[in-house]
Amino acid sequence: MGLNDPQWGNKNSGGPPDLEEVMRNINKKIQSMFGGSGGGSSNQSGGTAGGGLGGAGLIVVIVALIWIGSGFYIVDASQRGVVLRFGKQVEVTEAGPRWHLPYPIETVEVVNLSQVRTVEVGYRENVKNKMLKESLMLTDDENIIDIQFAVQYFLKDPGEYLFNNRSPDENVRQSAETAIREVVGRSKMDFVLYEGREQVAAATTKLMQDILDKYKSGIVVSKVTMQNAQPPEQVQAAFDDAVKAGQDRERQKNEGQAYANDVVPKAKGAAARLMQEADGYKQSVIANAEGDASRFKQILVEYEKAPSVTRERMYIDMMQQILTSSSKVLIDQKTGNGSLLYLPLDKLIQSTNPTPLSESVPVTQAAKVAEQGLAPISEFAQPRTTGLGRDREAR
């Protein structure tokens, strides 16, 4: 056995750096032991054959130190350490460097407590990657809908989490599946699809928590997030169409409203125009009447001063005005000798009609037509009489 060889101890002095302190102690002890065997003073063994026993003691000490050192562990801020003494939970340690009685007396299990964990139900990683087996479910009105959601949870009690269930994380998925189906099964399809998503998520969270608490799983469900709630692909088109129909309805209503907004103001405008026109008519009629009445009254005053003269004058004025502006034929019936006077009235009218204000009108052979002025009339003062048996005044 070369155990008491000084080289052995020296070789060990370059041991693991994390045990520096320990090694220094060991070195000190080695030196004091060798000093003891050389100088005759030993505080360790004190035996006469100290060399052999001292070597064995040294090993024991080293082994013991390593053994004790194996009880050190570090708990991160997000973690908790659960210490088991002979398999029984004795304490839960907080963050920091910790030490437990070394194996086999105590063991430690470090659990990540505050980290938020996620379980996806109805899909994996991407919402498009559906798990139809998980996502399809029946509603209260016996329709089938397709739901994808994620559950976020964390641990509240590391002891419960570790010791009460064989597969605690699987519990979350199972409770999620059963809870959502129970909640959806109680709800109508439209509620789940449209207005009730939040309520469904909240009810699922609560139910899941009840189930997980029943299993004492040490898990807290923080949130159920609905990724997607929709009708199955087979009927998607019909649902889209129904949504479109809703839009169509709105559109039609708006179109109707647009028509109304066009027609009613226009009618109001037309009504206002009618009123204005009526008012205008009224004003004008009254004004005309006033004018006419006033004019008549004024003339009347003068007429009453000299009735016969005024009357004659007015008559002649009128005749002049009439004869000036109209075509006329002057026939002297006294010279009539019974011969027939041919008067082509239709031609006269025809010739004047197209150009009512024209200066010259062709003169027929049978009758001369004077256009205007009194001068021409004098020409016809003695018209050629071809004989017309009757005295005629035509209008």
Partner 1 sequence: MNQKMKNVLVGTIVALILVGMSAFVVDQRQTAIVFQLGEVVRVETTPGLKFKVPLVQNVRYFDSRILTFDAAEPERFITAEKKNVLVDSFVKWRIFDVKQYYISVGGDEARAQTRLMQTVNSAMREEFGKLTIHDVVSGKRDALMKVVQEKTDGDARKIGVEVLDVRLKRVDFPVEISDSVYRRMEAERKRVANELRATGNAESEKIRADADRQRQVILAQAYRDAQKIKGEGDARASALYAGAFGRNSEFYAFYRSLDAYKQTFKNKSDVMVLDPSSSFFKYLKSSNKGGGK
DSSP readout, 359-381?
S--PPPSS---B-SSHHHHHHTT
Q: Is 24 in the site for partner 1 (CB under 8 A)?
A: no
List 7, 43, 234, 308, residue binding partner 1 (CB under 8 A): 234
Of residues 245 through 264, those in contact with partner 1 by CB under 8 A are 245-246, 248-253, 255-257, 259-260, 263-264
Residue 213 found at the interface with partner 1 (CB under 8 A): no
Asked if residues 384 and 367 have their Cβ atoms less than 8 Å apart, the reply is no
Residues 299-358 that bind partner 1 (CB under 8 A): 299-300, 303-304, 307, 311, 314-319, 321-323, 325-334, 343, 345, 348-349, 352-353, 356-358
Residue 266 lies near partner 1 (rule: CB under 8 A) = yes
CB-wise, 9 or 231, nearer to partner 1?
A: 231
Residue (63 or 319) nearer to partner 1, CB = 319
What is the sign, positive or negative, of the torsion defined by CA atoms of 293, 298, 299, 300?
positive
Contact segment (CB under 8 A) with partner 1 among 2-10, 60-68, 192-200, 231-239 equals 231-239
Gyration radius of the chain over CA positions: 64
Distance CA 37, CA 50 (A): 7
- Under the binding rule (CB under 8 A), the answer on residue 278 touching partner 1 is yes
Cβ pair 62, 12 in contact under 8 A? yes
Residue 390's DSSP bridge partners are none
Nearest CA to 201 out of 300, 301, 121 is that of 121
**154 is an interface residue for partner 1 by CB under 8 A:** no
**For partner 1, what does the binding mask look like between residues 363 and 392, x meaning CB under 8 A?**
--------x-----xx--x---------xx
Q: Which is nearer to partner 1, 74 or 90 (CB)?
A: 90
Shortest CB 39 distance to partner 1, Å: 22
Is there a cis peptide before residue 104, judged by omega within 30 degrees of 0?
yes
Min dist. Cβ of residue 380 to partner 1 (A): 9
Pair of tokens at residue 239: 């649902």
Q: Is 89:82 a contact under the CB 8 Å cutoff?
A: yes
Rounded to whole angstroms, the Cα distance separating 100 from 41 reads 36
Binding window for partner 1 (CB under 8 A); candidates: 1-9, 122-130, 136-144, 196-204: 136-144
31 binds partner 1 (CB under 8 A): no
Choose between 19 and 323: whose C-beta lies nearer to partner 1: 323
Of 267, 309, 363, 366, the one binding partner 1 (CB under 8 A) is 267
> Facing residues of 263 across strands?
none
**223 vs 253, beta carbon nearer partner 1:** 253
Residue whose CB is less far from partner 1, 31 or 299: 299
Rounded to whole angstroms, the Cα distance separating 363 from 99 reads 145
Site size for partner 1, by CB under 8 A?
Answer: 133
76 binds partner 1 (CB under 8 A): no
DSSP state of 195: I
Q: Which two tokens stand for residue 185?
A: 């099964």
3-state secondary structure of 155: strand
Q: Residue 277 interacts with partner 1 (CB under 8 A)?
A: yes
Of 105, 110, 114, 112, the residue nearest 82 (C-alpha): 110
- The distance of closest approach from Cβ of residue 74 to partner 1 in the complex, given in angstroms and rounded to an integer, is 22
Strands 117-121 and 144-155: antiparallel
170 binds partner 1 (CB under 8 A): yes
Q: What's the number of CA atoms in the CB half-sphere (13 Å) around residue 110?
A: 16
- For partner 1, the closer of residues 68 and 264 by Cβ is 264
Which of 12, 368 has the CB closer to partner 1? 368
In angstroms, rounded to a whole number, what is the distance separating the alpha carbons of residues 184 and 353? Answer: 93
Taking CB under 8 A as the rule, does residue 130 contact partner 1? no
